[in-house]
């Protein structure tokens, strides 16, 4: 029996995309089981606090921000109060976080914009959030996902590194990473996916020396072997907490 002729018309091969989607979602499920407590490691109770602590967390640790923020919000609980703050007092409160002049500037401009443009409320839309002074797409997505329960992908340094190591994207531009990875997952999973990857990046898949031999998603990772694969050596690299 003769073989059927080869098709000459182009047939889209979706198998690679499908397997990538399956692999990516499997990784997210395993990370969700590994880190059931994954969440933002910054403390906040309102959208305004979420916005402020996220802005303050640049160039410092979440732990330091969490130590400084109670006094900050006791003195300036909302945008109107912070916009009218005494600059020297505000500088003193954010002093332990470093870059205190720049951070004070950011908080004063941000609070004033919230009062003047949004009636003292934090907007719950990406296009409005990114127009606020000092608020980039990453901060906006943190606020959307964590303060408003709207799906947002937060491409910080951990998320970008892990997405590339896991073979989900080759892009380095955060916006392109956000779109490529976002296409692999249902929107409703975006916020938790961000927490899972960031927690894994802080605890196991470090920038230098990832703990590959102790990694729960190693079998789906094309970068397995970038760090020690010996389980004993790798286990020593694991951190139980995020950034100190
Ligand atoms: S196998 Fe290694 S590179 Fe891949 S996710 Fe795990 S720790 Fe990171």
According to the model, what pLDDT value does residue 241 have?
A: 66
Pocket test for ligand 1, best of 23, 31, 204, 210 (most atoms within 8 A of CB): 210
Residues of the chain with pLDDT under 50: 1-16, 243-244
Please, what is the average pLDDT of the chain?
Answer: 92
Residue 104, number of CB atoms within 10 A of its CB:
20
Please indicate if the annotation marks 204 as binding a ligand: no
Q: Give the distance (Å) from ligand 1 centre to CA of residue 213.
A: 8
Residue 105 is among the residues annotated as catalytic for this protein: no
Please indicate if the annotation marks 50 as binding a ligand: no
According to the model, what pLDDT value does residue 14 have?
A: 43
Q: Give the distance (Å) from ligand 1 centre to CA of residue 209.
A: 10
3-state secondary structure 166-233: CCCCCCCCHHHHHHHHHCCCCHHHHHHHHHHHHHHHHHCCCCCCCCHHHCCCHHHCCCCCCCCCCHHH
- Nearest-atom index, ligand 1, CA of 217: 6
Residue 103 C-alpha from the chain's centroid: 20
Q: Give the distance (Å) from ligand 1 centre to CA of residue 34.
A: 14
Which of the residues 28, 62, 103, 138 is marked catalytic? 138
According to the model, what pLDDT value does residue 18 have?
A: 73
Residue 62 is among the residues annotated as catalytic for this protein: no
For the residues of the chain, what is the DSSP string, one character each? -PPPPPP-S-----HHHHHHHHHHHHHHHHHHHH-TT---SS--SSHHHHHHHHHHTTTS-HHHHHHHHHHHHHH--SHHHHHT--HHHHHHHHGGGS-HHHHHHHHHHHHHHHHHHHTT----SHHHHTTSTT--HHHHHHHHHHHS--------HHHHHHHHHTTS----SHHHHHHHHHTTS-GGGHHHHHHHHHHHHHHTS-SSS--GGG-TTGGG-TTTTSS---HHHHHHH--SSS--
Q: Give the distance (Å) from ligand 1 centre to CA of residue 186.
A: 23
Which of the residues 156, 173, 230, 236 is marked catalytic? 156
According to the model, what pLDDT value does residue 240 have?
A: 82
Ordered domains of the chain (ranges, CATH): 17-39+152-237 (1.10.1670.10), 47-147 (1.10.340.30)
Q: What's the pLDDT tens digit per position in 24-71?
A: 999 999 999 999 999 999 999 999 999 999 999 999 999 999 999 999
Pocket test for ligand 1, best of 160, 208, 223 (most atoms within 8 A of CB): 223
Please indicate if the annotation marks 221 as binding a ligand: yes
Nearest CA to ligand 1 atom 8: 205
Residues present in the chain in total: 244
According to the model, what pLDDT value does residue 162 have?
A: 98
Pocket of ligand 1 (CB under 6 A): 165-166, 204-205, 210-212, 215, 217-218, 221, 223-224, 226-227
């Amino acid at each position: 029996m003769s073989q059927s002729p080869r098709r000459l018309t182009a047939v889209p091969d979706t198998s690679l995309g499908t397997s990538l989607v399956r692999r990516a979602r499997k990784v997210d499920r395993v990370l969700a089981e590994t880190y059931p407590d994954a969440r933002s490691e910054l403390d906040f109770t309102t959208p305004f606090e979420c916005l402020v602590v996220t802005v303050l967390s640049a160039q410092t640790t979440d732990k330091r921000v969490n130590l400084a923020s109670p006094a900050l919000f006791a003195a300036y609980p909302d945008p109107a109060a912070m916009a009218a703050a005494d600059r020297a007092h505000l500088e003193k409160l954010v002093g332990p976080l470093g870059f205190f002049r720049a951070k004070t500037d950011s908080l004063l401009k941000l609070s004033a914009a919230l009062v003047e443009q949004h009636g003292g409320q934090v907007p719950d839309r990406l296009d409005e959030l990114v127009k606020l002074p000092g608020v980039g797409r990453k901060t906006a997505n943190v606020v959307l996902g964590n303060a408003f329960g709207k799906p947002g992908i937060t491409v910080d340094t951990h998320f970008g590194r892990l997405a590339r190591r896991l073979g989900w994207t080759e892009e380095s531009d955060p916006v392109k990473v956000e779109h490529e990875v976002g296409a692999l997952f249902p929107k409703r999973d975006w916020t938790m996916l961000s927490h899972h990857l960031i927690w894994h990046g802080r605890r196991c898949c470090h920038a230098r020396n990832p703990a590959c031999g102790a990694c729960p998603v190693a079998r789906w990772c094309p970068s397995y072997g970038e760090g020690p694969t010996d389980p004993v050596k790798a286990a020593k690299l694991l951190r139980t907490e995020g950034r100190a």
